[in-house]
Structure 1
Amino acid sequence: MSVVTRFAPSPTGYLHVGGARTALYSWLYAKSQGGKFVLRIEDTDIERSTEEAKQAILDGMQWLGLDADVGPIYQTDRFDRYKEMVEQLISEGKAYKCFMPAEELDAIREQQKSNGEKPRYPGTWRDRTDHPENQPYVIRFKNPLDGKVVFDDHVRGRIEIANSELDDLVIMRSDGTPTYNFCVVIDDWDMGISHVVRGEDHINNTPRQINILQALGAPVPEYAHVSMILGDDGKKLSKRHGAVSVMQYRDDGYLPQAVLNYLVRLGWSHGDQEIFSVDEMIELFSLDSIGQSASAFNTDKLIWLNQHYIKTLPATEVAEHAKWHFDQQGIDYSNGPALSEVIAIQADRVKTLAELAAISHYFFADYKEFDEKAAKKHLRPVAREPLELVQAKLAELTDWNPENIQTVINQTAEELEVGMGKVGMPLRVAVTGGGNSPSLDVTLALISQATVVQRITKALEYIEKRENS
C-alpha cells in the first residue's frame, strides 16, 4: 500500500503549535515511508474562514519546511463533488431529507438533557416520504442502527463505538453547503489518504466518518489520534502561555530547525535522544512510537534547542533566517562583513536570532551614542594615551587581520606597561559603543580599518569633552 498522509487545517486563525506538530507527524510518516503528503485547506466554514488565515497557514508550513507533495487543495473548490456524492447517497437510500425545524430539534435536545439522556436527533424523518413543499431541509446520513464501529488507532489502540451512540449526521446544510465530517470523508477517499494523523479531539468524529466511508464502498484509512499539548501549568496550551502561533516563534527569533526538533519530541521519542536533524526524524519516526500522554510545553527547553542550533548549524544557514530580524531592526547588512561571518563569532552569545541582530548592529553601522555605563567606566582621561597609541598602530597596519590586530593591542600594553584591560576595554567601547563583544581581534577584523580608526577618534573626542566639562 502506498502511504498518503494529509494535514487539513481550517483557515480560521494562525497555524498553532498543535497543528504544526500534527503536520510534522503527518509529513514525517509520509517521508519515512516514501509516500506523499497532502496539504488540504478545509475552508467550508465560509463565514469564519479568511484569506489572511489561509496565508498564515501557508507561511507557517513554508517557514517550517513542511513542503506538500500535493496541494494546497481548497475544499471550496470541490463543492460540486460533495453535492454529487450527497445525491448518490440519497439515491441509494443511505441519506435522506430532514425537514425538522432547528427550534424543534433544540427543544427535543433540551428535553433529553433534562431526562439525563444524551442529546441526539431522534430519526424523525429517517423513513418518511411525506415531504412538504417549499420547506427548508438538511440532508442527513443514515447511520447504521445496530452493530459497532471498531478501529485500531496507532496511538490509542483498539477503539469501539456502538452505532446506537451515534445519531444521523447532517451532511448538507439547508443552504446547500456540505458539512465538515462529510467533506473530510470524500476528500480522504478521493485523495487516497491511507493514514490520518490528527488531534484526539477528532476521535468522536472518526466512527461517523468510517460509517460514511463504508456506505460509499470506500477504503477506510488508518488513524493516529495524538494527545493535546499542555502549557507549563498543565492546562491546555493557549495565548496566555505566550507564543502559540508558529510564526510568532519566527518573530521571536527561533530557528525552524529548533521548533521542528522541539515539536517532534512533544509526544514522540527515540530512546534518550534529544537532538534530531530532519533526516534523522524521517529515518526514525513511526506512528506507533507516539505516546498517549499529553505533553507539556517547556519554553526553556525550546530556548536550549534554539541556542544549540544557532551554534551548530552552518553560519550561512543561520544567516538566511537571521536576515529577517536584521531587516526588522532596520539594520542594513548589505554594507560591511558577510552576515555569516558575524554570526560565526556571535553565535555563542545569544539565545535567539532577534538578540543576535540586536547585539550586532555596530558591525554594519556607527552606533548613535556610547553605552552610558560602559563609557563612564572605560572612556576616562586615563584611557586617552592607550587609545591614541593603539589608534596610531592600527592605522599603520597594511594587512588587516585578527593576528596583526592582536599584536598591535599587545604591543600597546607592553609599551605603556599597563595590563591588557587598560587597552582592550577602552578600545572595545570605542569601536562597538559598549562593553560587550566577541574577542577584539576578530571583532575589529570584521569592521573596516578606516571605520575602526574613525570610531577611536570619536571616543577620544568624548574623553576630551569629559575632561573639559
Structure 2
Amino acid sequence: MKIKTRFAPSPTGYLHVGGARTALYSWLFSRHAGGEFVLRIEDTDLERSTQDAIDAIMDGMSWLNLGWDEGPYFQTKRFDRYNAVIDEMLEKGTAYRCYCSKERLEALREQQMENGEKPRYDGHCRDSQCSHTEGEPHVVRFRNPLEGSVIFDDNIRGPIEFSNQELDDLIIRRTDGAPTYNFCVVIDDWDMEITHVIRGEDHINNTPRQINILKALGAPVPEYAHVSMILGDDGKKLSKRHGAVGVMQYRDDGYLPQALLNYLVRLGWSHGDQEIFTIDEMKELFTLDAISKSASAFNTEKLQWLNHHYINHMPAEEVAVYLAWHIEQQGIETRNGPELKDIVKLLGERCKTLKEMAQSCHYFYQDFSEFDADAAKKHLRPVAREPLEAVRAKLAAITAWTPENVHNAIQGTADELGVGMGKVGMPLRVAVTGAGQSPGMDVTVHAIGQTRSLQRIDQALAYIAEREAQA
C-alpha cells in the first residue's frame, strides 16, 4: 500500500504552531514511508476564509520547507463533485431531505436540554416527507446507522468506540446548496486516496461520522492518528496570549525554520533522549507509535536554546541566507562590509535569534556620528587618548590586514604602554563600534576594515579632545 497523507488547514487565520506540528507529522510520516503528501485548503467556511490566510498558510509551509506532492486543492472548487455524490446518496437512500424549520429545531434543542439529554436531531424527516416538495427550503442529512458502534484503532490512542445512538443524522448540504465541512472532508480523503489522517484531537468526534459516511459510500476507511493539543507554560491551551501567533511570526522574530521544526517534532514525539534532529534524521526515525498521548507544553526558552544551537552549528553560509532577510528588514546596506557568513561567525555565540544578530551588526556596515552615552562616558575619557593614538598608529602601519596582525597591533600597544588589554581594548571597542559590547577586538576591527577603523578612531579622538576642552 502506498502511504498518502494530507494537511488540510482552514484558511480562517494564520498557520499556527499546532497546525505546523500537524503538517510536520503528516509530512514526516509520508516521507518516512516513501509516500506522498497532499496540501488541501478546506475553505468551505466562506464567511471566515480569506486570501490573506491562504497566503499565510502557503508562506508558512514554504518557509518551513514542507513541500507537497499534490495540491493545493481547494474545497470551494470541488462543490460540483460533492453535490453529485450527495444526489447519488439521495437516490440510494443513504441521505434524505430535511424540511424542519429553524424554529422547530431550536424548540427541540431546548426541550432536550431541559430533560438533561444530549441535543441531537430526532430524525423527524428521516422517513416522512410526503407533504413536502423538492422546491421547498431544506437541508440534506446523512442517514446515520441507528444501531451498533463505530470502532477505529487510533494510531496514537488505541481503540476508540462511539455508539451510533450518540450520533445524529449529520447535515451534509445546507439550505443554500453548499456541502458541509464533514462531508467535504470525506469525499476529499476518498478521491485523493488518503491512507492516513493525522490531525488534532479536536477532530476525534468528527471521525465516527466520517467513517460512517465512507462506509455508506463503499469507500475505503483511512487510518487515523489524533495528536494531543499544545499547552502554554501555564498549562492552558496555547493561544495568542502565549505568543502563539502565526508561524511566520517566528521567522519575523529571528528563528531558523530548522530550529522550529526540530522543536515542533519533539513537542509530542521522541526518540530516546535525543534532542537535536536533522530533517533527514526526522524522516528516518519518525513513527506514529512514538507520539505521546499527553498534551505538550510550549516552552519559548527551549526554542531559543535550539535556535542558538542551529545558528552556531549549521554552516554559516546557510544561516546567512536567512539572516539576509533580517538585514534587509533593518535597512542595512551590506556592500561595504564583511560577508554575512562572517557576521554569523562573529555574532553567533552572542545572539539567540537572527533578528538580534541583525540589530547588533549595524556598526560593521554603517558609520555613526554619536557614541553610546554610557560607554563613551566610561571609556572615551582623556586618559584613553594615548592608548588610542598608539593603537591607531600600529593599525595604520599594517600592510597585510589579517585578524592576527590586528591582534598583534592591539597587544603590542598594551605591552608598550605597560597596561592591561582592557585599557586599550575598551576605548578601541567604543571608538570603532560606538558601543561597549562586541566580539573580540581583533576580529571586530578586522571585519570593520582598516580605513573605516582608522576614521572611527579619529572620530573618538576628536570626541576626547572636545571633552578635554570642556573640562
TM-score by length of 2: 0.98
| Pairing of 1:10-159 with structure 2 (within 5 A) | 10-133=10-133, 134-159=135-160
- Give the letter aligned to residue 46 of structure 2: I
Mapped pair 1:2 → 2:5: no
Consecutive aligned runs of 4 or more in structure 1 exceeding 6 Å deviation: none
Deviation, 1:261, is: 0.8
Cα deviation 1:57-80 (Å, max 9, x = unaligned): 111111111111111111111111
Cα deviation 1:175-210 (Å, max 9, x = unaligned): 011100000000000001000000111000000000
Mapped pair 1:315 → 2:316: yes
Aligned residues: 469
Counterpart CA distance in 2 for 1:148 and 1:419 is: 82
CA contact (8 A) 1:262 1:305 kept: yes
Mapped pair 1:186 → 2:187: yes
Counterpart CA distance in 1 for 2:296 and 2:137 is: 45
CA contact (8 A) 1:41 1:75 kept: yes
Counterpart CA distance in 2 for 1:391 and 1:143 is: 86
Mapped pair 1:220 → 2:224: no
CA contact (8 A) 1:181 1:209 kept: yes
Cα deviation 1:46-96 (Å, max 9, x = unaligned): 111000000011111111111111111111111111111111111111111
Deviation, 1:257, is: 1.0
Tell me the equivalent position of 1:229. Answer: 230
Counterpart CA distance in 1 for 2:368 and 2:320 is: 22
Counterpart CA distance in 2 for 1:368 and 1:311 is: 32
- What is the root-mean-square deviation of aligned Cα atoms in Å? 1.0
Counterpart CA distance in 1 for 2:308 and 2:229 is: 26
TM-score by length of 1: 0.98
1:467 partner SS = helix
1:123 partner SS = coil
Cα deviation 1:407-443 (Å, max 9, x = unaligned): 1112212222222211111111111111111111111
2:162 partner SS = strand
- Give the letter aligned to residue 353 of structure 1: L
> After the TM superposition, which of the residue ranges 25-34 and 294-303 deviates more from structure 2?
294-303
CA contact (8 A) 2:238 2:244 kept: no
Counterpart CA distance in 2 for 1:94 and 1:243 is: 42
- Give the letter aligned to residue 462 of structure 2: E
Deviation, 1:334, is: 3.2
Cα deviation 1:137-165 (Å, max 9, x = unaligned): 00101001111111100111001111111
2:78 partner SS = helix
Deviation, 1:450, is: 0.7
CA contact (8 A) 1:243 1:249 kept: no
Mapped pair 1:424 → 2:425: yes
Deviation, 1:131, is: 4.8
Deviation, 1:243, is: 3.2
| Closer, same or farther: CA 252–131 of 1 in aligned 2, 3 Å | farther
CA contact (8 A) 1:15 1:56 kept: yes
Cα deviation 1:363-383 (Å, max 9, x = unaligned): 111134211111111111111
Tell me the equivalent position of 2:246. Answer: 245
- Give the letter aligned to residue 341 of structure 2: S
Cα deviation 1:385-407 (Å, max 9, x = unaligned): 11112112211211111011111
Counterpart CA distance in 1 for 2:417 and 2:118 is: 90
> After the TM superposition, which of the residue ranges 263-272 and 361-370 deviates more from structure 2?
361-370
- Give the letter aligned to residue 304 of structure 2: I
Counterpart CA distance in 1 for 2:399 and 2:158 is: 72
Counterpart CA distance in 2 for 1:423 and 1:387 is: 7
1:97 partner SS = strand
Counterpart CA distance in 2 for 1:444 and 1:353 is: 22
Deviation, 1:244, is: 3.2
Cα deviation 1:98-135 (Å, max 9, x = unaligned): 11111211110110011011100011111123252442
**Which ranges of structure 1 fall in alignment gaps of 5 or more residues?**
none
Identity %: 67
Cα deviation 1:267-325 (Å, max 9, x = unaligned): 11111111111111111100111111011111111111111111111111111111121
Counterpart CA distance in 2 for 1:396 and 1:91 is: 94
1:223 partner SS = strand
| Pairing of 1:195-214 with structure 2 (within 5 A) | 195-214=196-215
**Which ranges of structure 2 fall in alignment gaps of 5 or more residues?**
none
2:23 partner SS = helix
